[in-house]
Amino acid sequence: LWLVEDPYEIDLHRGEMVEAYDLVFTNERQAVAEYKRAQVFYLPWCCNPEVHRQLSVGEEYQSDLCFVGMGFPNRLKVINSLAPLLKRLKVKLIGEWNRWGKL
């Protein structure tokens, strides 16, 4: 099991969920100790340069700032606090931002 939303969903993952697997990987180094069991390992994000490389994209995909990730409440708070500074930039937020609150 590779948990890629730690530490934000760590409470959902503890207990029965991680116990059902022989090996558990988390993208958050500090979360390893939080699971309090053997066979939990840190596995950071990675890429394959043959696949993940710079591409030319159309105008609709271009931005000054792009954040890709779930719009969790703590992230909404940060983005909202930065809103006055971001108004003059073309900003793209990718990843269910309407699910967790209002920007």
For the chain, domain boundaries: 2-42, 59-94
Q: What is the pLDDT of residue 84?
A: 93
Q: How confident is the model at residue 101 (pLDDT cuts 50, 70, 90)?
A: low
Q: Using the predicted structure, report yes or no on whether residue 102 has a pLDDT greater than 80.
A: no
Query: What integer pLDDT is reported at residue 42 of this predicted model?
Result: 96
pLDDT (tens digit per residue) in 40-92: 999 998 888 888 888 888 998 899 999 998 888 888 899 999 999 999 999 99
pLDDT of 39 higher than 90: yes
Where residue 39 falls (left for φ over 0; alpha for ψ -120 to 50; beta otherwise) is left
